[in-house]
Amino acid sequence: MVAIRLGTRGSALALAQTQVIQTLLERSHSGIVCTARVIKSHGDTDRRTPLHLLGTTGVFTQALEKALLEGAIDAAVHSAKDLPSTLPGGFVLAAVLKRGDPRDCLLTRQGFTLDQLPRGATVGTGSPRRRTQLSRLRPDLSLQEIRGNVDTRRFAALSGTVDAVVLAMAGLARLGLLDEHVVPLPVEVCLPQAGQAALALEVLESNEDVIEILRALDDEPCRMCLEAERAVLEELSAGCQAPVAAHCTMLHDGALQLRAYVAQPKGAGLTSELVGDGCNPRALGIEVASQLRKGGAEAALQAFRAASSPG
């Protein structure tokens, strides 16, 4: 019998995602028993400060990496969108699971679409990426900072604290909360965050036995798409809370289609889209980032960082 200790955040969504992985692992290998251990992260203990003001990268991952280093867990379960664009030395992603629905969605008490929201409606979201894309389409909306787990944000909309909230479709699906209050936002309206809807298992590079076990859960197309998306962030030195979106899909012929977006303080934002060889997803991400940089992405991100600096 082999015991695998999975480290996870303590939210209902994180635990549900860990349960999915636990079930898949135990089904894929006879004799494996998985246990979950909750690790509190900086992003979980500070629930008031907007994420982009916490002043650090990896607000949801550093505590889990510390637990890996200390031998308290064997693998860390992450929402891939929470990962910094580069992992610290000595860590690897042993598996990237098949992606769920990558779209964002609007959640309202009435089940409104974005167009149906009344003029001046209040929309809760803590994501600069979501705010900038929605405000471009509906500049009349009042976009309000909101933090908390899925249930907290969902309740804010259903109780009337705000008129709507923006959430990830995949998270609601994993919690069984897709209902009449939820309307998906097409990727053409709100391009997803890099890694959205993908789950990733991080381990110590030296732990070859665990890597071999986890490899059974790896979905190669999703891993390739994630690599392209994360290369955009890395090349732009953009953390997971920057107003940057990147979404990659695999086409029928195995090529990769990558779209990316960088918000600007004024104007419609910068976009880039390329189709590239599926054998080199990182190169595709670097090329898309290069196009965005030529359009002024670095200046746009510098302006965002200046406006978001604590104090």
3-state SS string over the chain? Answer: CEEEEEEECCCHHHHHHHHHHHHHHHHHCCCEEEEEEECCCHHHHCCCCCHHHCCCCCCCCHHHHHHHHCCCCCEEEEEHHHCCCCCCCCEEEEEECCCCCCCEEEEECCCCCCCCCCCCCEEECCCHHHHHHHHHHCCCCEEECCCCCHHHHHHHHHCCCCCEEEEEHHHHHHCCCCCCCEEEECCCCCCCCCCCCCEEEEEECCCHHHHHHHHHHCCHHHHHHHHHHHHHHHHCCCCCCCCEEEEEEECCCCCEEEEEEECCCCCCCEEEEEEECCCCHHHHHHHHHHHHHHCCHHHHHHHHHHHHCCC
Whether 82 is a known active-site residue: answer yes
User: Of 44, 46, 74, 82, which is the active-site residue?
Assistant: 82
Active-site residues, by number, are: 82
